[in-house]
Structure 1
């Protein structure tokens, strides 16, 4: 299901193992929801579980998926500000040597696939 467009992510796909994106009890959709609630919910409303959370100026996952290019926004989120400043990917060089401007998030390519599987259920 690898659909991430950023060429810089390609080396992560070559790594063995891939990460813990498949939840033991619910597959990639459940894993994507869990990853999103753990990492993305500090800025975004992910689903009703954090409906009162997020940052007011940050769009919810449901809103993003309602846009004509919503799926593409998730596929390319790593390139969208401010994500590149604090999201770290296995096998992907940091965009800047400067320290992160927020607590770092460490993801694998499998985590990204799981997030996409989850957000596709929000259409």
Structure 2
């Protein structure tokens, strides 16, 4: 489209928790809410706002997150087929080229090998809750 687009790159981590991602997840949750609020603030201007939230993607992010340890970064992708930077770029191009009357609020994209993990519960060894009562 010919209109203006703001496409913010969020993450599924902003919606779905995973261990060790509390700060990252919170920052990506901010992007989601910021995008929604910005869309409201820009209503009537013709500016479109989208939160594009990819799941696991093979980018330099894992190298940075692992303090430059490429072996540790590569282990994140072992046995799976993550999204690529090109996959994400294709979605950006698609969103940016929609007809001007269409706004995509949010796109959550993940590889077919990614889903949400089970509900996490830490279980102590020893007597159960029922036995304590």
Give the TM interval when normalised to the shorter protein: under 0.3
- Larger Rg computed on CA atoms: 2
The TM-score with structure 2 as length reference comes to 0.25
Higher relative contact order by CA 8 Å / sep ≥ 6: 1 or 2?
A: 1
Greater helix percent: which structure? 1
